[in-house]
Amino acid sequence: MDASGNFEAKLLTQKDFSSQRPALLGGSPVRPEGPPDWPGADADVRAALDEAFQCGDWGKYHGAALPALEAALREYHHVDHVLTCGSGTFAVELALRALKVGAGDEVLLAGYDYPGNFFAVHAVGAMPVLADLDPKHWQLSLASAERATGPQCKTIIASHLHGGLIPMRQLMDLARRRGLTVVEDAAQCPGAVVDGRKAGTWGDVGVLSFGGSKLLTAGRGGALLFRDEEVWQRARAYQIRGNVVCPLAELQAAVLLPQLGKLDGRNARRRESVALLRQGLRDIPGLRLLAADAGADLPAFYKVGMQFDATAFGLDRSLLVKALRAEGIALDEGFSALHVGRSPRRFRAGDPLSEAQRAHEGCVVLHHPILLEGEPGVVQVVRVIGKVWAWREELQNAQLLARRASE
């Protein structure tokens, strides 16, 4: 029997599910210990910390780890210039400043994006222009971006989100045609390959995050990748104002170096898990992965984003998330769309935002650590979703009763 046959055999059937109550209705959780911890124990990180302690660099402005990390990032991404900094959010702001975006300029981004990117545009005094998403995979729609681009538009922020990838070759064509620069936000997908190149190396500036939940983590931190020396120099000049503003510290760089060496292997393992997950969820209605099924691209999974159709599945999104959480699976709702609940004076809607609205209401994301567990972890996720689906009416009714009782 082939591997996928074995995998299918480990999944449960509808009949099995009806005898197992969901944890939210008083049954036993599939994963009582809860989601896996992140970052996990790593002997090489421990060794790096020991080394920084031994040589005293842990408490110094300048040591060996920071230059080594910047060199390793340059080599890994095949770019000439890298600048580390205090966070991915700050990296986006720095990227905009380095590209000379300021008051009176517009910056185009998807109406569904990391909220910090919206604030970064305002931080430099520019105005966000929101474009819609591609209905297929809920990444920035190039057609909508084209329509939304106006004469004040200077830069596009292109974020690869939830395991999806923006077709960067086409996006760069569009940007060049319209005379725009591009900030490519690869905070969620370090090491991904899109159109034959590493994510973050297509844009005029690429952004990485080393935040505490991310695939490369130092608790906090970020980096910028540059193709152009002048843009890199401007970013540095802005960061060094008397002293370095929002830097990455030696100790953070020290723990990132061994993680960078393991990134490709871990990304591959996460991709294998997502392929199994796709297979396991095939027969569940109303859940579709954002990541493309096959092709030359190699996505990376900080989150496994899914389009959730509450009507087709038969359960409210908030209830799905609650039911999975009760089973010990780290599923969450996605971002709030950027146009929702904001004063229309804070942005320009460059195009109708109907898909961004749909993502706002229907995106769910599975957190990445369970993907490194391979098949056993995926089997748990699929079983939990199958169980919750089999019990959808009971779950929905229980919520109705609870609401009535509290009224």
Ligand X SMILES: *Cc1c(COP(=O)(O)O)cnc(C)c1O
Least distance to ligand X from the beta carbon of 64, Å?
24
- Binding of residue 191 to ligand X (CB under 6 A): no
Does residue 335 bind ligand X (CB under 6 A)?
A: no
In angstroms, rounded to a whole number, what is the distance separating the alpha carbons of residues 300 and 372? 12
Distance in angstroms (rounded) separating the CA atoms of residues 356 and 128 = 15
Least distance from ligand X to the Cβ atom of residue 222, Å? 5
Q: How far is the CB of 187 from ligand X (least distance, A)?
A: 4
**Given the complex with ligand X, which of 59 and 115 has the nearer CB atom?**
115
Alpha-helix runs per DSSP H in 281-351: 310-313, 317-326
89 binds ligand X (CB under 6 A): yes
Q: Report if residue 252 touches ligand X, rule: CB under 6 A.
A: no
Among 187, 359, 379, 384, binds ligand X (CB under 6 A): 187
- Put residue 241 in one of left, alpha, beta given phi > 0 → left and psi -120 to 50 → alpha: beta
Q: Which residue has the tokens 């004076």?
A: 345
Nearer to ligand X, 76 or 114 (CB): 114
Q: Is 185 in the site for ligand X (CB under 6 A)?
A: yes
114 in contact with ligand X (CB under 6 A): yes
Q: Which position among 29, 163, 222, 369 is part of the footprint of ligand X (CB under 6 A)?
A: 222
Name the minimum Å distance from CB 249 to ligand X: 14
Segment lying near ligand X (by CB under 6 A), choices 19-27, 47-55, 139-147, 182-190: 182-190
Q: Which stretch binds ligand X (CB under 6 A): 19-27, 87-95, 225-233, 367-375?
A: 87-95
- Answer yes or no whether residue 116 interacts with ligand X by CB under 6 A: yes
Q: How far apart are CA 309 and CA 316, in angstroms?
A: 9
Calculate the CA 69 to chain-centre distance: 22
Separation of alpha carbons 100 and 181, rounded Å: 10
Residues 183, 200: Cα–Cα separation, whole Å = 8
Neighbours of 277 (CB within 10 A): 24
Contact segment (CB under 6 A) with ligand X among 84-92, 131-139, 233-241, 243-251 equals 84-92
Amino acid at 125: G
The dihedral sign for the CA sequence 393, 398, 404, 407: negative
The 10 Å Cβ neighbour count of residue 372 is 14
Nearer to ligand X, 359 or 388 (CB): 359
Binding residues for ligand X, rule: CB under 6 A, are: 87-89, 114, 116, 159, 185, 187-188, 209, 211, 222
